[in-house]
Amino acid sequence: MSERWARAALTAYRYAGAAAYPLIGPYVAWRASRGKEDRVRRRERYGVAGRPRPEGPVIWIHAASVGETIAVVPLVESILDYGVNIVLTTGTVTSAKVAEERLGSRIIHQYVPLDLKPAVSRFLDHWRPELAIIAESEIWPMTILELGARNVPQVLVNGRLSDRSFMSWKKRSGVAEALFENLAHVIAQSDVDGERFRALGARPVTVSGNLKVDTNPPPVDERALATLQRQIGERPTWAAISTHDGEEVVAAEVHASLYKRHQGLLTIIVPRHPDRADALAAQISGMGLSVARRSKGDRISSDTDILLGDTIGEMGLYLRLTEIAFVGRSLTSEGGQNPLEPAMLETAVLAGRNVQNFREAYQRLLDSGGAKLVRDRDMLTGAVNFLLTNEAARHEMMAAGAATVDEMRGALARTLKSLEPYIQPLVVKARLKGANGR
């Protein structure tokens, strides 16, 4: 299939309706996030650079949101050690903050341009990247085609295709092939992901494992942790983290079922989208439960039932307050959220059965005894009750999860090995530039 035909097809899809096509998901996601972005830097969305281009080779690395940004931080740090410039793009304010906190001035951060030809062309004309590294499943058709037209190698790292995305792409296999043939290399998370990318026409494809396993545990403000630990004291706790609509009420109902059996029980609820906190606080309070909101600085008193973790970037704090964590988007929504962070912090992991997006990680945790899947609210209630009651079983589960994460490490080294043929020429070029500059 020619690039010309692919452009025409992609344009047609762009007008055909967002819900039906995976091709325009990134653009739709941006449309949905309007009002939550950095207004001061909005021009970057149209490819207008906020910084001058540095001298020497530039690698463009893109990570859509917080999870992807955290996952690529060790990779970015490894590439920086070679002395090559990096422009890191992300799509959200939160991910921009993560990039600032963890990488600082060592990289140039920009908001990713919209997947529209004028914006992409303006971005590429300014930065002139010599390699593009894209994280996970960000398939931006116009960006891929524009990079291909400029002969810029494109590598997809930590590549993942969900069941739904794969089936959607298969229905449009010709368009998928026209896009994926522009990728110089796909480094997939798992064997299943690797086979899916091959089936859609990507070549070559290697499997690295999940880069998220090679990240450090989420950080914590030690003073904030000590303050909350003093307020909680010896009370038993459990957490429902990264929850989606409906799961917060389920967690509150679990609390209501258990607090008489476990005196002083405190339930920590951390919604995936904290902007829902006002409605959640009202809803849970309407159930007769006392809610303390982290964003308001509410003190956890002896009669507090629920700590609502309605802040961004404090998952490391919430996970260190408990030894049991239910990971959301798995009971009332589909796909699941990342179980690796709680596991690496020695937390017993519970989740619903809809964890397709993290299938391999959950399978490894289930096989080792580090995680347990539950069918519904009643089964979650039983699992939390069992773990609160049985300290030995809880600690076995915690240790199994941490050991599993350690066994899964190595994705970063495998990814760097696959990237070496693309990075080494730029390293040589950067060194020659430096030598000539002196």
Q: Which residues are catalytic?
A: 68
For the record, the structure tokens of 413 come out as: 């080294």
CB-based contact 206:194 (threshold 8 Å): yes
Does the CA dihedral 99-187-328-227 come out positive or negative?
negative
**3-state SS class at 98:** helix
> Which residues of 45-178 form beta strands (DSSP E)?
58-62, 85-90, 108-111, 131-135, 154-159
For the record, the structure tokens of 379 come out as: 């089964």
For the record, the structure tokens of 248 come out as: 């917060």
CA 312 to chain CA mean position, Å: 13
The residues near 386 (Cβ < 8 Å, ≥ 6 apart) are: 393
CB-based contact 254:381 (threshold 8 Å): yes
Question: Over 376-406, what HEC string results?
Answer: CHHHHHHHHHHHHHCHHHHHHHHHHHHHHHH
- In degrees, rounded to 5, the angle at the alpha carbon of residue 119 between the alpha carbons of residues 114 and 123 is 105
